Amino acid sequence: MSKKGIRFVCIVITVCVISSFMASCIKKKPDTSATLLRTSTSSRLATASAKVSAVIGKTTQNSQTESGLEEKVDETEGLPVNETEPEKNNGETSDEGIGRYAYDFGGRTIYMESAYQNIGYMLDYDDPIAVGDRYDANTGIYRKGFDAYRDLRYDHWREVEQKLNCKIRVKFSGDWNSTPIRMKEEILAGTYTFSLVFPNALLASWVKYGLVTPLNDYVDFDSLEKLRGPLVKAMSSWGDKYYTVNESVPTANLHAIQYNPAIQEREGLPDLVSVYQAGQWTWDKLLEVARLATRDYNGDGIMDLFGAAYTRADWVANNFLQSNGVPMVEIRDGRYISNMDSPAFVRALTFISDMMNIYKVTTTQANYTNGKAYMFLGGQFNYHTTLFYNQSKIKSKSVPTPLGPDNTEGKLVVSMKKYGWYIPSSEKDPKGISYLLVNLMWTDSDPEKPVLSYEQRLEDLKNTWNSSFWPGADIDLADEIDFFLNKMTSSDLISATKMDIVGNGFVNLETTISNQLMNKLNSFTPISQIIDSSKPIIESILNEYN
């Protein structure tokens, strides 16, 4: 090489070194003045995350299958910043950064549809709880100042809009029953106009019918810390494919037993929160309290007060199955298996049947709202607390379902409902939308997910209770604060080795379990006979997915 050429190369190298040094010098320092803490991994459910892969089974990266729908070309489709597909790393855990999921939508508006409650305008954020005065009634724009975490998440969505050059709008279109049916019909017809869909936890059936696009061709779940956590993988997958980037975690929310503190005080009954906090909350204790509360005031043979009420026997039975350590359906050796032959299964159903038919301590939900029942079984902490106050001004308190005698682990089995935003198979730009999901969602193992201080979380909880339940609920329910803040999703309460997967869209499974099994418990039919008659039907449904 000539001297002139050598001199030119040296100059280029010198410029590159100086540029690199200057860039590192002006790199913005992290803001340490905020009260918000950021951790490399979320401590919440760390134990569950470490073990949950044993429940779900190994998840692998496979290619996307054909949806059966003709893919149309859209000239407005966004152009990826890097056309190179992410390379599979064969299980290696080296981070390559969120930058590999950069994308330019060219100013496109991304429309998302949820089957949640009917809100008649488009919103700019997927927060269905924050309605009314937390959204502008004319524009649907989110108003800050009510919930610190949601405010931060809202800002994150706006940052993603700028980063990917798009706008995001969310529509809440109805209810969990009729709306998913309409969504399914439109996706199959190729007329669905939304790019992300939240139909409820329906992955079993939606995958079977090709309604959703797997992410495997576009997203490597081992490429980022936020994606490769075992719990995130479990909540985002069905079979051997990923269909969402899931922010949800298993929760004890469906395991509430409400009780009326006014009746407790009037009748001198045990306070269940105190019993629970003392470590004395068992099936035997629940039955004891229920029998004590069931009373005939005037001796006419008609009960004036019942120990417990319920709406649906299947909700109650499922809670007690799970509290006894046995899920109705689980994955075992890659197959969907019922546990109907388990002695723990039989014992749980027998306990509920005896409460209804032998001890006669149960009644209908109407009698709870009318002040004629002390406890309500099979409820949800948030939903039923709100419902009973709105209906009858009952300021219900709550405790979780007590653990059963066969629960050797000492933790609740809960339903792993895989809620999430799916990409409909009618979407014309699945790659871009996949990248949007990766950028939008703060998963449980996301190092960028904000961790609020205890004081911030407490303030948010009080605001939520006082607006959703009743004014002053934070004072009335003060002895439940620790449970809501620290145990609702905690591995100290929730099993990390067992999860129930019934509520994920197996066609006709929940209806069959309800009608053929659980709702027969309030008859005098022997439990063994109920199980024997329903087992072949339930197993035939599961075999369609095995």
Give all strands (DSSP E) within 466-516, no chain letters: 494-500
> What is residue 132's predicted lDDT score, i.e. its pLDDT?
58
Q: Which of 413, 102, 55 is nearest to 237 (CA)?
A: 55
pTM of the model: 0.78
Q: Which of 351, 386, 61 lies closest to 233 in space, CA to CA?
A: 61
3-class SS of residue 9 = helix
pLDDT at 131: 55
At position 56, the amino acid (one-letter code) is I
Determine the 3-state secondary structure of 182 from DSSP. Answer: helix
- Cα dihedral 512/518/520/521 (nearest 10): 170
Per DSSP, what are the bridge partners of residue 400? Answer: 256
- What pLDDT, on the 0 to 100 scale, is given for residue 65? 29
DSSP 200: S
DSSP 262-325: HHHHHHTPPPHHHHHHTT--BHHHHHHHHHHH-B-SSSSSS-SBEEEEES-HHHHHHHHHHHTT
Decide: residue 33, CB within 10 A, 0-12 exposed, 13-18 middle, 19+ buried. Answer: exposed
Cβ atoms of 413 and 498 within 8 Å: the answer is yes
Secondary structure of residue 103 in the 3-state scheme: strand
Per-residue pLDDT at 119: 82
Distance of CA 299 to the CA centre of its chain: 47
Predicted local distance difference test score (pLDDT) of residue 17? 38
Burial class (CB in 10 A: 0-12, 13-18, 19+), 395: middle
| pLDDT score for 54 | 42
Residues in the chain: 546
Architecture field, domain 46-249+419-440: 3-Layer(aba) Sandwich (3.40)
Of the options 3.20.20.450, 3.40.50.720, 3.20.20.140, 3.40.190.10, the CATH number for the domain spanning 253-415+471-543: 3.40.190.10
CATH 3.40.190.10 residue ranges in the chain?
46-249+419-440, 253-415+471-543
384 is written with which tokens? 């039923």
Res 20: pLDDT: 42
pLDDT tens-digit map of 161-185? 999 999 999 999 988 889 999 999 9
Residue partners of 399: CB distance under 8 A and separation at least 6: 256, 257, 259, 272, 273, 275, 276, 281
Low-confidence ranges of the chain (pLDDT < 50): 1-95
